[in-house]
């Protein structure tokens, strides 16, 4: 019996660079109030959101991804030709095939990098990061680009009072590469499919195609159920990620949760008993909920503003439709 030659990858992996892209159009709450009966004070108190970005026709999923990825590649100090894998997490690329990752890989000038899309909602960045880490340690790529990108304005029902104010557009990207010491901890991830109805697309595309419904599909959610799940269950997952990495809340420098709702963020900070010295990402205020893009966009902003610095230890956690989740501890680039 022949023996398969063992893979020879790097001993560990780490995030080497990060980049983000936010569409040029900034949308204040006043615009949302044109189609729902609410108030700016109510939106801010319920979500923390003041503004969000909505993409133009030219700011496609691919175009935003290329912009964010170019920044991440430059930040990592490598060339696009060195990228061996491109992983894109999105739920708002409306072509079933081919994967938008292949278009992005080509436009960036990679040397025929492996490229594929994943659909894991707001946990998608964590899923992609875990896959990239595996590829590098296994040896199938030296550098992997992980992109979270959404045009959720295309899937927003502006007459739905529960969700019209939540969603924004944007792209965040990181380059993951080899490391000589641990810099991406074990991932705690999973799914709770019995709760899939709490965040979902209103109807299948086929219903719209066949004329069963006249309204274009949108994302809807059961707000209170999602809030309770995120606050109580995801705090447990976050703690498990800390435990898996062998650190405590006191060892953290930064907390970067999915930017779903500022009240959820505040509740998780309290439940985890994070010390005051821990910087907490609150990109939700001016970017809104960008699903798979929210964690890398928040990471990029913290580093750009100096609120976080290279080498800081950060806990990241994403959670959303599925319901799916992923949490890990990383060293910031």
If we measure between CA atoms, which residue out of 83, 199, 188 comes closest to residue 127? 188
Look up 93 and say whether it is catalytic: no
- How wide is the angle at C-alpha 316 spanned by C-alphas 200 and 103, nearest 5°? 65
If we measure between CA atoms, which residue out of 131, 114, 171, 137 comes closest to residue 292? 171
3-state class percentages of the chain: helix first, strand second, coil last, to nearest 5: 40, 25, 35
- Quick one: which H or E segment has residue 268? helix 262-272
Candidates 29, 93, 258, 261; catalytic one? 258
Q: Helices 234-245 and 262-272, interaxial angle, to 10°?
A: 50
Candidates 29, 93, 261, 289; catalytic one? 289
DSSP per-residue letters across 204-264: -HHHHHTTS-SSPP-EEE-HHHHHHIIIIIHHHHHHHHHHHHT--GGG-SEEEE--S-HHH
Candidates 53, 122, 261, 277; catalytic one? 122
Look up 261 and say whether it is catalytic: no
Look up 122 and say whether it is catalytic: yes
Give the Cα separation of 20 and 66 in Å (integer): 10
- Quick one: which H or E segment has residue 101? helix 100-108
Active site residues: 122, 258, 289
């Amino acid at each position: 019996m022949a023996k398969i030659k063992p893979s020879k990858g790097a001993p560990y992996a780490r995030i080497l660079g990060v980049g983000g892209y936010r569409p040029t159009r900034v949308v204040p709450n006043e615009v949302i109030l044109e189609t729902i009966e609410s108030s700016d004070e109510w939106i801010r108190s319920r979500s923390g959101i003041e503004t969000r970005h909505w993409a133009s026709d030219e700011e496609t999923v691919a175009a935003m991804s290329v912009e964010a990825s170019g920044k991440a590649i430059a930040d990592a100090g490598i060339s696009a030709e060195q990228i061996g894998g491109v992983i894109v997490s999105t739920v708002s690329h409306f072509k079933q095939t081919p994967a938008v990752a292949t278009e992005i890989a080509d436009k960036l000038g990679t040397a025929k990098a492996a490229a594929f899309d994943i659909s894991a909602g707001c946990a998608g960045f964590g899923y992609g990061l875990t896959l990239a880490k595996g590829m590098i340690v296994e040896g199938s790529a030296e550098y992997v680009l992980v992109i979270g990108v959404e045009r959720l304005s295309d899937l927003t029902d502006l007459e739905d009072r529960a969700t019209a104010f939540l969603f924004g557009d944007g792209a965040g990207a990181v380059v993951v590469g080899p490391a000589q010491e641990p810099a991406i901890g074990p991932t705690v991830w999973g799914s709770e499919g019995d709760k899939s109805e709490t965040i979902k697309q209103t109807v299948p595309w086929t219903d719209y195609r066949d004329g069963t419904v006249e309204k274009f599909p949108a994302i809807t959610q059961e707000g209170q159920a999602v809030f309770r799940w995120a606050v109580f269950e995801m705090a447990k997952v976050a703690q498990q990620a800390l435990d898996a990495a062998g650190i405590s809340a006191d060892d953290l420098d930064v907390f970067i949760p999915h930017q779903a709702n500022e009240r959820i963020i505040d509740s998780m900070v309290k439940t985890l008993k994070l010390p005051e010295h821990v910087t907490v990402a609150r990109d939700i205020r001016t970017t809104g909920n960008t699903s798979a893009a929210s964690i890398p966009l928040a990471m990029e902003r913290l580093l750009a503003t100096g609120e976080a610095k290279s080498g800081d230890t950060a806990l990241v956690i994403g959670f959303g439709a599925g319901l799916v989740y992923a949490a890990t501890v990383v060293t910031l680039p």
